Amino acid sequence: MILFALLVAHRVNSNYYKEQLRIYTKVAFTCVMDYTSLTGNFETEDFTMKIAVTYDNGNIFQHFGKTETFKVYEVEDNKVVSSEVIGSNGEGHGALAGLLAGQNVDVLICGGIGGGAQTALAEAGVELCSGAQGDADQAVEAYLKGELASKGATCDHHHHEEGHSCGDHEEGHSCGSSCGGGCGSHTTMEGKNVGKKCRTHYKGTFNDGTQFDSSYDRGEPLEFVCGAGQMIKGFDAAVADMEVGQVVDIHLMPEEAYGMPNPEAIFTVEIAELPGSEDIEVGQQVYLSNQYGQPFPVKVTAKEETTITFDANHEMAGKELNFKIELVSVE
């Protein structure tokens, strides 16, 4: 199941991974949340964070630059303890980053967002999870479970006036900085099954025919909300317009699946900084946890006398995938 339980994509830079607090060994390959401490004597720490969601009547508002309200969630020990809806004060695009930073927001979940706003959020230290759709509360819960990945939905198409287009603006301004149009207009997934709970059987194979996963073998369909960011992009898009009982075969390039490997997700740390890492070996699959207590998998790629190197890229990164998908039910 790990192929479809998309862990949150903390692909910011290698320094991010060096801030990890604990390390875990993987116990069961098919159960993402089963892991044990290497040393058995780590102290449990309570983590707090704030998550903001572009908000409109219970759902994720799809135009970051035009959002009028955010729902801000207080999280302690990876659980929501309170929430409140705040106004945007008429701010737009990059200025909203300052508003969120002033609220001590750590993570933003949204639909489409422009390049300028993304830069402003990064400079403000706010992690971005874009391209999300559907119920705001459910999206936050999915994020905390590691099941919501950023789709990177950007604002590169706007409602144009006076005949000019993005990339060809007069007076020197460009999209992502001062365009007044809405973000994400063409990145929002469409289809009759979007936002609905879908159950599918599937079989996944590599180009050489080798099977890497199958719900048929487990005897139980996979259940997810279509278009909510719980699935890889190409799988989600295929299910969006399927009929119940229909079977389709799809071929996905890496960009539609787990993306290409990110060099910045390979990082080296001092063994002394990670108590318990002395005994792990090259090639071993382990888990690190971030400052919020969320685990993510890494692979040990090198180990020297005083340092150890991890690769946090998904094991499927850079690979073309094939799926046979059968839509079992839609609710």
Nearest by Cα to 148 from 157, 160, 156, 140: 140
Per-residue confidence (pLDDT) for residue 189, from 0 to 100: 77
CA angle 113, 178, 66 (to 5 degrees): 45
> pLDDT value at position 133?
85
| 90 lies in some domain | yes
DSSP helix/strand/coil, 229:
coil
The CATH number linked to 164 is: 3.30.420.130
- Residue 246 has a pLDDT of 98
Task: Say which of 113, 232, 308, 325 is annotated catalytic.
Answer: 232
Structure token pair of residue 97: 């980053």
Residue in 24, 55, 61, 202 annotated catalytic: 202
Q: Are residues 83 and 153 in the same domain?
A: yes
| CB 205 within 8 Å of CB 322 | yes
Task: Judge whether 192 lies within some domain.
Answer: no
Q: Has residue 36 been placed in a domain? A: no
Under DSSP, the state recorded for 290 is -
Give me the pLDDT at residue 42, please.
28
CB 85 within 8 A of CB 55: yes
Question: H or E segment at 143?
Answer: helix 136-144
Domain count, the chain: 2
Q: Return left, alpha or beta for 167; rule: phi > 0 is left, psi -120 to 50 is alpha, else beta.
A: left
Residue 181 lies in a domain: no
Q: Is residue 289 part of a domain?
A: no
Q: Do 56 and 140 fall within a single domain? A: yes
* Residue 216 is a catalytic residue: no
**Same domain, yes or no, for 218 and 106?**
no
* Count of positions (residues) in the chain: 331
Catalytic residue check, 35: no
Residue 121, in any domain of the structure: yes
CB atoms within 10 A of CB 294: 19
Q: Do both 168 and 228 map to the same domain?
A: no
Q: Are 202 and 323 in contact (CB under 8 A)?
A: yes
Q: Is 325 a catalytic residue?
A: no
Indicate the residue among 138, 172, 206 that finishes a domain.
172
Q: Are 238 and 248 in contact (CB under 8 A)?
A: yes
Count of CB atoms situated within 10 Å of the CB of 74: 15
Ramachandran class of 328: left when φ > 0, alpha when ψ lies in -120 to 50, beta otherwise: alpha
Q: Give the domain extent around 239.
A: 197-259+317-330
Of 213, 236, 280, 292, the active-site residue reads: 213
Q: What is the pLDDT of residue 92?
A: 59
Each residue's pLDDT expressed in tens, for the chain with a length of 331 residues: 333 333 333 333 445 444 443 444 333 222 222 232 222 222 334 468 899 999 999 999 988 888 999 999 999 988 899 999 999 877 655 578 889 988 999 999 998 887 778 888 888 888 888 888 889 999 999 888 877 766 554 443 333 333 333 333 333 333 333 222 333 333 467 899 998 999 999 999 999 999 999 999 999 999 988 887 778 899 999 999 999 999 999 999 999 998 999 898 899 989 888 887 888 899 998 877 655 455 677 899 999 999 999 998 888 899 999 999 999 999 9
What pLDDT, on the 0 to 100 scale, is given for residue 307?
Answer: 94
Task: Return the number of other C-beta atoms located less than 10 Å from residue 312's C-beta.
Answer: 23
Whether residues 159 and 203 fall in one domain: no
Residue-level pLDDT at 91? 62
Residue 101 lies in a domain: yes
Q: Are residues 143 and 79 in the same domain?
A: yes
Q: Which of 4, 16, 47, 212 is catalytic?
A: 212
Specify the CATH number for the domain of residue 216.
3.10.50.40
* Residue tagged active-site, from 55, 73, 258, 292: 258
Q: Determine which one of 70, 267, 287, 292 is catalytic.
A: 267
Catalytic status, residue 258: yes
